[in-house]
Structure 1
């Protein structure tokens, strides 16, 4: 099934790589699913050559795996790799939070506070999907405020690779109630122009994510 976002990207003449990337991130293609050039060409109204080039680029990003004599497929990310990605995210997200605390304006403080209030409402109403979307929005907004473009580009690629694990983690019972105060602590530190506290709060949050992923891996092994 083609998502609204990926359909819009394909229909407006945006590069086919963006449309296929969106479809993978949004779960339209399952891990290890074969990506047949002819099918993608028809689905995204693109030439076979542009689809082939897109798959090569997505392979470089770590979203697609090209198998000799067997074409391409969606790369499956293990929990162990998701933990490694989160460890890298911890370093880069902390840098972005520190930069955001140094640069944030009064209007941007209001923006972050508004996201925080929306996250509270989502947890209070058990809107797990809405909370997950706000989570992504918050981290993206912090990266934008921090203005560290190189870190932001790397983080976007890492997020794309681990998005399925992040979503499953967000769906775990009780997880939003754990992460909400962590996110609010990040918002408060950045809003108060406290770079060190912002960095510490972000590290604490990602450490919690890593711990939850490790617990998930151990549970899977026992099962």
Structure 2
């Protein structure tokens, strides 16, 4: 798991290469909102922050650019990709079409062992919310939803949804944590596990609709960004 440094950027977790370590740290900072659209971040400055050479930082930046999380600014660095209200609406609509039925299939197909593996992840999300640890929350949330959808058996769908979730990011998490509302959303993951364990596909699909709706309502807030 990541720890957050003095400047708000997460420190490295355990990854297989330095490039992946940097990419994951930057991804977590972008997704959590620690790194914001409109500000240019340079590879040398980030390399100094991470105490590595600029090469793995530039490589990591290219990885994130391919995912649509950042945009490269020639000769300067990069800035976080801004997502407009229109784009967020469209992505949310696609997720609503894909995730609820996929979750329902997961509830129908999951084995007892697979269900048991989901519960610790759900609890990790709840614990992170209680601690207002947004980096840890996002890591556990991402892993939970990936594993849940994988139980449905359509790995291409999982890849598409994972990319969509990364592009929307969890806007407004910091505000929810400050207002004490993040835990309620986090606890929905435990209920999801209960539905999977009981094979309640319909109920899980309905809960997924509500859960995804948070992205556009409570998390995103009023429609103030540029269309």
Instruction: Using structure 1 for the length normalisation, give the TM-score.
Output: 0.69
Task: Say whether 1:212 aligns with 2:215.
Answer: no
Instruction: Report the counterpart of residue 208 of structure 2 in structure 1.
Output: 202
- Secondary structure in 1 matching 2:72: strand
Asked if 1:129 corresponds to 2:132, the answer is yes
Which residue number corresponds to residue 65 of structure 1? 71
CA RMSD of aligned residues (A): 3.8
User: Is 1:152 aligned to 2:155, yes or no?
Assistant: no
Q: How many residues align?
A: 213
Of 4, 18, 40 in structure 1, the residue corresponding to residue 11 of structure 2 is 4
Could you tell me which of 43, 61, 64 is aligned with 1:55?
Answer: 61
Gap regions ≥5 residues in structure 1: none
User: Cα gap change, 1:3/1:178 in structure 2, threshold over 3 Å: closer, same or farther?
Assistant: closer
Structure number with greater Rg is 1
Higher helix share: 1
- Aligned pair in 2 of structure 1 residues 186, 169: CA closer, same or farther (>3 Å)? farther
Distance apart, 1:165 and its partner CA = 0.3
Gaps (5+ residues) in structure 2?
Answer: 1-6
1:174, distance to aligned residue in structure 2 (A): 5.5
Q: Deviations over 1:36-84 (max 9, x none)?
A: 2333455553454x54454344223111123467652122334554343
